[in-house]
Amino acid sequence: MDSYIPYGRQSINEADIAAVVRVLQSDWLTQGPMIECFENAVAQAAGAKYAVALSSATAGLHLACLALGIGPGDRVWTSPNTFVASANCAMYCGAAIDFVDIDRYTRNISIEALEQKLAQAELMGTLPTLLIPVHFAGLSCDMAAIAQLAQRYGFRVLEDAAHAIGASYQDQPVGGCHYSQATVFSFHPVKIVTTGEGGVITTNDEAFYRRLLRLRSHGITRNPDEMTQTSEGDWYYQQLELGFNYRMTDLQAALGVNQISRLKEFCSLRRDKVQYYLQKLPKDLIQLPKYSVESAWHLFCINLRNEKERKRVFDAMRLRGIGVNVHYLPVHLQPFYRNQGFNEGDFPCAESYYRSAITLPLFADLSLCNQDYVIQSLLEVLEIE
Ligand SMILES: *Cc1c(COP(=O)(O)O)cnc(C)c1O
């Protein structure tokens, strides 16, 4: 058994290592051929026409917002049960942020709450321009319902799928953008597939895709068709707008290509471990997540029936070397967002979910012996009054 079991971690095999070493021995550490290989691999896995590789999912959310035209005067709505990056991207663009409370069962944006908030916003003339649904823990939001509301109220949809590569919705992979303008994936080491740091935006819109490529690299183009005048020679390029350096390196992309080839295996290992937890954990003291074969199972989050026990259980598990965690502190209660006018009580389901939530270790290489230790420890800790 390991002396410390984290809640999530990468799985790196010999082929992953060899792929990175090959890039180190090649001519291109960045802006080389592995970027397109990785983009093609992600586009294929997600069932989208285009993919743009970036330095992080945070960069991806930022660029996608910019390319969707989000700026001052716009309202962006997202889930309070997410990592701060889902909201920060709106702030980078000078837009206003608001949240939609979650469904206690799926832990995703509640369609009911969304409908109510939209009806109210229509009366007040405060409809959002963009909604960023978050596929929490790898379970897709109800995208068909969201797309219907998007059509009716005239907002656009950007999927935060940082947790959800390998997930599906209505038998189609998440990231195919059938109900959204774009989808953003994260490849941070705690996520399902890793490139160290990294993110990808998928889309089916060619003009949007070309804009993202430009924004990723300073707003510069080398494509004569995009230039404002004829090229002066092979050295010539034009900066058309203010972009960034949000590029991924070829070292990361090569790791990503091999990791994506292991995606199905990762998801199936995660599903097996989830089923084992569901089979072994007691339903009287904890509320277990709903099983779904379509979830990518990035996280395994339970709720204690008695929220007053959360801190004690959390501390006792940590003392036993188990890296339990909590996902998520509601974003609107962060001091930065309280300063934007949000308060306790604004999104009661997300807040009450948070108060009793604990994330148990779940990752592809979690051994049976370690998982048994997590389960045994939790049972013991729960029984101590
Ligand atoms: C991890 C995460 C991000 C940010 O991803 P990075 O690649 O670390 O920038 C965004 N949204 C959610 C929901 C996340 O979990």
Per-residue model confidence (pLDDT) at position 356: 98
Per DSSP, the residues of 247-288 read PPBHHHHHHHHHHHHTHHHHHHHHHHHHHHHHHHS-TTTEEP
Per-residue model confidence (pLDDT) at position 311: 98
Per-residue model confidence (pLDDT) at position 345: 98
364 Cα to the center of ligand 1, angstroms: 19
Terminal-to-terminal C-alpha distance of the chain: 27
The DSSP code for 230 is -
- Ligand 1: residue of 55, 61, 86 to mutate (most ligand atoms within 8 A of CB) is 86
Atom of ligand 1 nearest to the CA of 58: 9
Q: Is 243 helix (H, G, I), strand (E, B) or coil?
A: coil
Tens of pLDDT, residue by residue over 192-213, are 999 999 999 999 999 999 999 9
Share of the chain above pLDDT 90, in %: 97
Q: How confident is the model at residue 384 (pLDDT cuts 50, 70, 90)?
A: low
Q: At what angle do helices 57-67 and 206-216 cross, to 10 degrees?
A: 120
287 burial via Cβ count (<10 Å: 0-12, 13-18, 19+): middle
- Return the residue whose CA atom lies nearest to atom 10 of ligand 1: 85
Work out the mean pLDDT of the chain and round it to a whole number: 97
What is the fold, at CATH topology level, of the domain defined by 5-260?
A: Aspartate Aminotransferase; domain 2 (3.40.640)
Tens of pLDDT, residue by residue over 210-246, are 999 999 999 999 999 999 999 999 999 999 999 999 9
Strands (E), the chain: 50-54, 75-78, 96-99, 130-132, 156-160, 168-169, 172-173, 182-186, 199-203, 220-221, 238-239, 286-287, 300-304, 357-360
Atom of ligand 1 nearest to the CA of 186: 7
The DSSP code for 50 is E
Domain boundary assignment for the chain: 5-260, 263-383
What is the fold, at CATH topology level, of the domain defined by 263-383?
A: Aspartate Aminotransferase, domain 1 (3.90.1150)
Per-residue model confidence (pLDDT) at position 255: 98
337 Cα to the center of ligand 1, angstroms: 18
β-bridge pairing 286-287 and 300-304: antiparallel
Q: How confident is the model at residue 254 (pLDDT cuts 50, 70, 90)?
A: very high
Look at residues 375, 378, 10 and name the one whose alpha carbon lies nearest to residue 197. Answer: 10
Q: Which residues line ligand 1 (CB under 6 A)?
A: 56-58, 82-83, 85-86, 134, 160, 162-163, 186, 188, 199
Buried b (16+ CB within 10 A) or exposed e, 213-227: bbbbbbebbeeeeee
Atom of ligand 1 nearest to the CA of 56: 7
Contacts of 182 (CB under 8 A, 6+ apart): 64, 67, 68, 158, 159, 201, 202, 203, 205, 208
**Residue 32: how many CB atoms within 10 A of its CB?**
17
Look at residues 334, 325, 327, 304 and name the one whose alpha carbon lies nearest to residue 99. Answer: 334
Mean per-residue pLDDT for 40-64? Answer: 98
The answer, yes or no, to whether residue 1 has pLDDT greater than 90, is no
Q: How confident is the model at residue 83 (pLDDT cuts 50, 70, 90)?
A: very high
Verify whether residue 191 is a known catalytic residue. Answer: yes
The answer, yes or no, to whether residue 85 has pLDDT greater than 60, is yes
How far apart are alpha carbons 188 and 10 in whole angstroms? 9
Atom of ligand 1 nearest to the CA of 197: 7
325 Cα to the center of ligand 1, angstroms: 16
Selected catalytic residue, list 49, 117, 191, 280: 191
Tens of pLDDT, residue by residue over 255-313, are 999 999 999 999 999 999 999 999 999 998 899 998 999 999 999 999 999 999 999 99
Q: How confident is the model at residue 2 (pLDDT cuts 50, 70, 90)?
A: confident
How far apart are alpha carbons 136 and 174 in whole angstroms? 12
160 Cα to the center of ligand 1, angstroms: 8
328 Cα to the center of ligand 1, angstroms: 12
